[in-house]
Amino acid sequence: MQKSIDDDQLDEEQELFEHYKFIADKGQTLLRIDKFLIDRVPNTSRNKIQVAANSGNILVNKKTVKSNYKVKPFDEISIVLPFPPRELELIPENIPLQILYEDNDLIVVNKQAGLVVHPGYGNYTGTLVNGLLYHFDKLPTINQTNRPGLVHRLDKNTSGIMVVAKTEFAMTHLANQFFERTTERRYNALVWGDFDSDEGTVIGNVARSLKNRKVMDVFPDGEHGKHAVTYYKVLKRFGYVTLIECKLETGRTHQIRVHMQHIGHSLFNDNEYGGDKILKGTSFAKYKQFVENCFEIIPRQALHAKTLGFTHPTTKEWLQFNSDLPTDMQNVLVKWENYVSSRLNDETV
């Protein structure tokens, strides 16, 4: 039997849910899966396991099963469960939210930059969760965690689309989609430098930096961290910076930010990954002032979660949502467009 979980390197989804995988021994006798799992998953109950099964979050050989399924030799079993509770009072707050979609099962929001997603150390109030609790009467709080309804996250200074569950069933069903990589996530990012080709792929394990635990690092030879894949495509070239689209195959913490830094294209004004200084272009006074003005326009990493697609937990319909770039990103792109145009005009005079 083999268990696969790494509590030290938590991903954006795995910070919200536990994901366990087991392979039954060759001598495994027929046994109900809820009884099989109760002896193998720590700090759980048979009721929690049965709820997971009813929510479609127990898979055997990649197919959902009910709690009375009989485990056989060599079965590959996975289960998704919420993490144990953290003691923290959740206070509803009247925080403006942009709701793109809502039904009985879920909410899709367009998160503004600067908004922390859930309460935690140093951010006990003023979060997306506090706002959700004000605007919606009840959200699923499995085990009374401080992250009701959440199945994934965005960084504080990343804007864009998130899905929030309104029922326990939707919560566990959506969490499993993120874990199984069946969602579609596309981001727009403004990065430093130009690219040799219009498309590319970044592959490299991501984990906490061994030098600074507040940020992530890439370990390309795979001796540390977790497998991570980012696909990128050039949308607009500005010479010293480039607007790209990033599609995530995996969802590691800070994945786009650290992957782009790894290949020499830190996100524009990303102060944690080196993008908050001039990385391309000559630092003469006029250009330096121009870049500093751009930093003032977008005082954060230039990253926006533009597209999110997933299967509706109840209807099984594929839903896809898109959002426009926020004003700060639009304004900084206009500024770069004007800068490039003025340089071309100067060269042709």
Please identify every residue annotated as catalytic.
155
Q: Tokens for 239, please give them.
A: 């010479």
**Do the beta carbons of residue 260 and residue 267 sit within 8 Å?**
yes
d(CA 205, CA 255): 10
d(CA 76, CA 174): 21
Burial class (CB in 10 A: 0-12, 13-18, 19+), 93: middle
d(CA 96, CA 112): 10
d(CA 346, CA 15): 51
Question: Closest by alpha carbon to 281, among 321, 247, 239?
Answer: 239
Question: Closest by alpha carbon to 283, among 295, 291, 275, 294?
Answer: 291
SS3 168: helix
Q: What is the DSSP string of 79-139?
A: EEEEPPP-------------EEEE-SSEEEEEEPTT--SS-BTTBSSSSHHHHHHHHSS--
Distance of CA 4 to the CA centre of its chain: 20
Counts for the chain of helices (H) and strands (E), in that order: 7, 17
Bridge partner residues of 308 (DSSP) = 185, 321
Phi/psi region, residue 174 (left: phi>0; alpha: psi -120 to 50; beta: rest), is alpha
